[in-house]
Amino acid sequence: EIEGSDAEGFLDESSGGNLKGDNYNNPGYQVTEVIDGDTIVLSDGERIRFIGINTPEEGMYFYAESRDVLKIMILGKEVWLEKDISDYDQYGRKLRYVYHGDIFVNLEMVKRGFANIFTYPPDVKYSEQFLEAERYARENDLGLWKSSKIDIVSIDINFDARGNDNENINGEFVILENIGSESLDTSGWTIKDSGTNIYHFGSYKFNPGTRIILFSGEGKDRSEDDDWYLFWESPRPVWNNDHDTIYLRDREGLLVEIYNY
């Protein structure tokens, strides 16, 4: 259902979300504020959270760039909205696909590297298009996908803790390994999931052939047999059991490695 138009067939789904039809110029909703790269406020006061994508939060790498490009695209302009299955999120924001003119804004943000995909069933209508757009951005090193010069770190993960995840938070952990011949300094590095969970590294000497094991729960950071054992101190599990993405970034925010499962 397209909001802001009464035209049937207003959305041509086969084209991945282009707007068409006789009522193309019918009034939609005006965007009065851009909160960040995936949340806007409309002239009727509604907050809209874009479905299927996630952009950096304030203080994170590429936050300003993502927010500012969305401002250029739609601030003060009319947009049309499409609902999937869910109506609102837990914060009271409407969940919608957003269109301006013939631009599918959610998709455009991903394709240009200003957002990563964030698939959250049951709202998966355009998940395949989003995957293809993200693949394009990654292959072309666009925006969030610009690569670090550091290319000697591998990632593995134990994402499904034994038993009840909430009672065994340290049963999930990420393993980084320095597979190169140079020592690295992890100062300013971050690890992030596909949502908004983020871990900030201190300054650790990451020697060739050694590992960093990052546990999700509580504990005392320590070095043992040249490996580092670090603790996120998260009060709840970080990693989804069905699917998630690990983003490892250097101190400049550039992508060191990515791991999907």
Q: Average pLDDT, whole number, for the chain?
A: 91
Q: What pLDDT does 1 receive?
A: 64
6 — pLDDT class (breaks 50, 70, 90): very low
Q: List where CATH 2.60.40.1260 sits in the chain.
A: 148-260
* pLDDT confidence of residue 27: 58
Question: pLDDT per residue over 45-68, tens digit each?
Answer: 999 999 999 999 998 899 999 999
Looking at residue 60, its pLDDT comes to: 87
Interval 23-42 mean pLDDT:
84
Q: List CB contacts of 49: < 8 A, sequence separation 6 or more.
A: 38, 39, 89, 91, 93, 94, 95, 96
pLDDT at res. 203 = 97
Exposure b/e, 132-150, CB count within 10 A at least 16 = b = ebbeebbeeebbbbbebeb
CB 119 within 8 A of CB 227: no
pLDDT bucket at 13, cuts 50 / 70 / 90 = very low
Confidence of residue 224 (pLDDT cuts 50, 70, 90): very high
Q: Is residue 70 predicted with pLDDT exceeding 90?
A: yes
Express as a percent the part of the chain with pLDDT over 90.
Answer: 87
Q: Which two tokens stand for residue 192?
A: 């992030």
Q: What residue ranges of the chain are covered by domains with CATH 2.40.50.90?
A: 2-144
Pairing, β 29-36 against β 78-82: antiparallel
pTM of the model as a whole: 0.80
Q: How large a percentage of the chain has pLDDT more than 70?
A: 90
Contact 157, 203 (CB under 8 A): no
Say which CATH architecture domain 2-144 belongs to: Beta Barrel (2.40)
Q: Which among 219, 256, 232 has a CA at the least distance from the CA of 173?
A: 232
pLDDT at 59: 87
C-alpha–C-alpha distance, residues 2 and 11, integer Å: 7
Summarize pLDDT for 83-114 with one digit per residue, the tens.
999 999 999 999 999 999 999 999 999 999 99
130 versus 17: which is more confidently predicted? 130
The band of 23, judged by pLDDT with boundaries at 50, 70 and 90, is very low
In this structure, which topology does domain 148-260 adopt according to CATH?
Immunoglobulin-like (2.60.40)
Measured CA to CA, the distance from residue 10 to residue 120 in angstroms comes to 25
Query: What is the per-residue pLDDT for 230?
Result: 99
Confidence check: pLDDT of 72 > 80? yes
| Range scoring the smallest mean pLDDT among 15-29, 87-101, 137-151 | 15-29
